[in-house]
Structure 1
Amino acid sequence: MTSQKHALFAEDASTRRLILPWNRAAEICWRNVLNRRGRFLLIFVSIGVVVAFFVSTLAYQSVLAELRRSEDVPVRAALERANLLTHGEAAEKHQRDRTVWLLFLSGMLCFVGVCNTMYMSVTERFQEIGTLKCLGALDGFIIRLFLIESVFVGLVGSMLGAAAGCLLMVAQLTMVLEVEYVSLALLLRTLSLSVPLAVAGGTLLTVLAAVYPTWAAAKMKPVDAMRVEV
């Protein structure tokens, strides 16, 4: 009993505070994500849609750029038939800029939506936060819990979105180009670059969206947090 007590609280009774090791905090946060997966569904969908769009667009454009650099006559003829063979660096730059702009806009829209959803998720748990603070949890402890939880939420949503993006990219290539000109090695090479980047970006987006509502909730006084009606 004594060892368990020391594992949860600081030893000095005058500054008694609730503490948890990182692995235990991560386990609790993962269970919260599983138990509240219905509440996080909107975030999963928002992050998943953006990541799927990012993976499919980036990988598709990378495959086309690789094929345009090919000197193989049948490949260039297939690109010409599909009206995908750009002429000149200016046209390629214009297409790259348009793709980057679309990705930026979709990311900003997703960020706003995730911010709103994360704020509602934190707000409805004010009483839980107040209880933790009454037990001695410091602001940093509460921020750590919610940020770890946001990492899990963003990671799950991003991985689902990345899987959907891979399927969308393959479907898009199949519809506009003869699939025999796209090798498996080329697909794997482009996806190995775009998927980790998209998953990391989606996770980071979720964590950034959770920073302000988590910080605001952690700064609340325990009495005020317990008094909030959800």
Structure 2
Amino acid sequence: MAQADRRKQRPFAEEGAARRRRVVLPWSRALQMCVSGVRHRLGRSALAFICIAVVIAFFMQSLAAQRMIATLAASADVHTQAVLERAGVFSQDAADQQRQRDQRLWFYGLAAFLCLVGITNTMLMSVTERFREIGTLKCLGALDHFIVRLFLLESLAVGALASLAGGLLGFALAVAQVGAAFEFGLLTARVLAKGLWPALPLTAAVGTALTLLAAAYPTRVASRMKPADAMRTEI
């Protein structure tokens, strides 16, 4: 009887021993694998980088341009006021002022929506096309949380760098837009600083957060797939 019980318990003991034998890789090793993965997938990573940077640049351009125009409008300089008045920035009509506010809100909403959709689509494709790689990692004994950690680290790196680059590009476009619409001579250091801060850190933080959120769900789903199912997936 005791011998039969030991035979029944043996598979569970072997399973527990196998689990204990699994290597739990530290954060430093995950970071090394993340850098290596980006290098080996340089073309794909560059494509994701460009897509994120473009949508962030559009968002940053909208935000920075409006902040610079608002700073110019608050200026007491007579020449600045005259230039803005000729450009139609000022209006005494309440209906026209409301229309301008509605247009700004609509433009902000459109920029935020395009930013959300663009980043979500980019990261969704970036993760789903690597289901086979995830299946291989699981066959080699990688735990689910390690796969999630690895992919989120990679998404964080790409998202942060792309958001920062997109923010700087968007700021440059905003400067060109405002300067061409009015006068480049009006863009003093104070006006440029108002357009850059806090718009740049805000857009960089938004882009990074959206990248992580967009990558979290497909990564979590993929990490829970059976290795055979993940390796059979074709995108």
* Same structural fold, with TM-score higher than 0.5 when normalized by the shorter chain: yes
RMSD between superposed Cα atoms in Å? 2.4
What one-letter code is carried by the residue in structure 2 that aligns with 1:105?
A: L
Q: Note the residue ranges of structure 1 that are not aligned, 5 or more in a row.
A: 1-11
Q: Percent identity?
A: 49
Corresponding residue for residue 199 of structure 1: 204
Corresponding residue for residue 47 of structure 1: 52
SS at match of 1:38: helix
Corresponding residue for residue 172 of structure 2: 167
Corresponding residue for residue 82 of structure 2: 77
Does 2:69 match 1:64? yes
Question: What is the CA distance between 1:53 and its match in structure 2?
Answer: 1.5
Question: What is the CA distance between 1:66 and its match in structure 2?
Answer: 1.4
Contact 1:33 1:152 in 2 (8 A): no
In structure 1, how many angstroms separate the alpha carbons of the residues matched to 2:97 and 2:55? 23
Does 2:21 match 1:16? yes
Corresponding residue for residue 148 of structure 1: 153
What one-letter code is carried by the residue in structure 2 that aligns with 1:59?
A: A
Does 2:192 match 1:187? yes
Q: Calculate the TM-score normalised by the size of structure 2.
A: 0.81
SS at match of 1:40: helix
In structure 1, how many angstroms separate the alpha carbons of the residues matched to 2:201 and 2:92? 31
Q: Calculate the TM-score normalised by the size of structure 1.
A: 0.82
Provide Cα deviations, 1:115-161, integer angstroms capped at 9, x if missing partner: 33333332332232122223332211111111111111212221221
Provide Cα deviations, 1:167-214, integer angstroms capped at 9, x if missing partner: 111111221112222211320232021111111111111112112211
Q: Note the residue ranges of structure 2 that are not aligned, 5 or more in a row.
A: 1-16
Contact 1:53 1:165 in 2 (8 A): yes
Contact 1:30 1:152 in 2 (8 A): no
Question: Could you list the runs of 4 or more consecutive aligned residues of structure 1 that deviate by over 3 angstroms after TM superposition?
Answer: 86-97, 109-117, 226-230
SS at match of 2:42: coil
* Number of residue pairs aligned between Structure 1 and Structure 2: 219
In structure 1, how many angstroms separate the alpha carbons of the residues matched to 2:106 and 2:65? 16
In structure 1, how many angstroms separate the alpha carbons of the residues matched to 2:228 and 2:80? 69
SS at match of 1:71: coil
Flag the 1:170–1:24 CA change in 2: closer, same or farther, 3 A.
Answer: same
What one-letter code is carried by the residue in structure 2 that aligns with 1:125?
A: R
Corresponding residue for residue 12 of structure 2: none
Provide Cα deviations, 1:84-134, integer angstroms capped at 9, x if missing partner: 224477655543443343333333334334433333332332232122223
